[in-house]
Amino acid sequence: MKLKDQVAVITGSAQGIGKTIAETFAKEGANIVITDINIEKAQATADEIKSKYNVETIAIASNVTKLSDCENLIAKTLDKFQKIDILVNNAGITKDNLVLRMTEQEWDAVISVNLKGVFNSIKAVTRTMFKQRHGRIINIASVVGIMGNPGQANYSASKGGVIALTKTCAKEFSSRNILVNAIAPGFIKTAMTDALSDEVKAKYAEVIPLKRLGEAQDIANSALFLASEDSSYITGNVINVNGGMYM
């Protein structure tokens, strides 16, 4: 098992890609902290993973836009497990609109969750990982943070910021053996894309060289690689998981 007895905190992990990452880590022996703004869903996911994979889990409610919530998340995790080996910053939202029509509230909300939330979570865990002299931080960015996308100025800016933050933290933390990397997903099948018509999904697939949308498991597999010792000489990198949409 690649992550046996390690402790992984995954934000926004009650459902979707975050849940798939949590399950993939649990299969490899990690104890899991499910954290989400929706505590009911978080608890249900934590219970399911504990039962399914025979690992220890805990569900903690947190709003990543609040540093105090992130600090509370880390404190409760340490109370339960006494260490934190892996942090996956997965929590994110979209509020798409053209720049001409985008409201200040739509801009602020996305930047606050997707970029400030990553900063808050990293800041909250840094002292612990520095003391341990070990850690893995994995930030979920996006292909549009690299190439942009019409109607997603706020989302693109937030994810581009996550990539820059990843590289800076990698440089600042490397002396303490803390590796910081990002994953930039392309179009991935999620509850959000499931709501799209077949016609719209076909249009998305047309711009992807592999001619299909990705699966949440594709992202989870990359996260597992970055969390494990297989990636022990990789930091400050962005793994593009997009079917060739950006090369």
How far is Cα 113 from Cα 92, in angstroms, rounded to an integer? 6
Which residue of the set 53, 155, 233, 246 is catalytic? 155
Active site residue 155: yes
State both tokens at 6: 């390690």
Smallest Cα–Cα separation from 165: which of 137, 186, 188?
137
Element (H, E) at 138: strand 135-140
Q: Cα(169)–Cα(135) distance, rounded to whole angstroms?
A: 12
User: What are residue 59's DSSP bridge partners?
Assistant: 34
Strand ranges (E), 43-106: 57-61, 86-89
Active site residues: 155
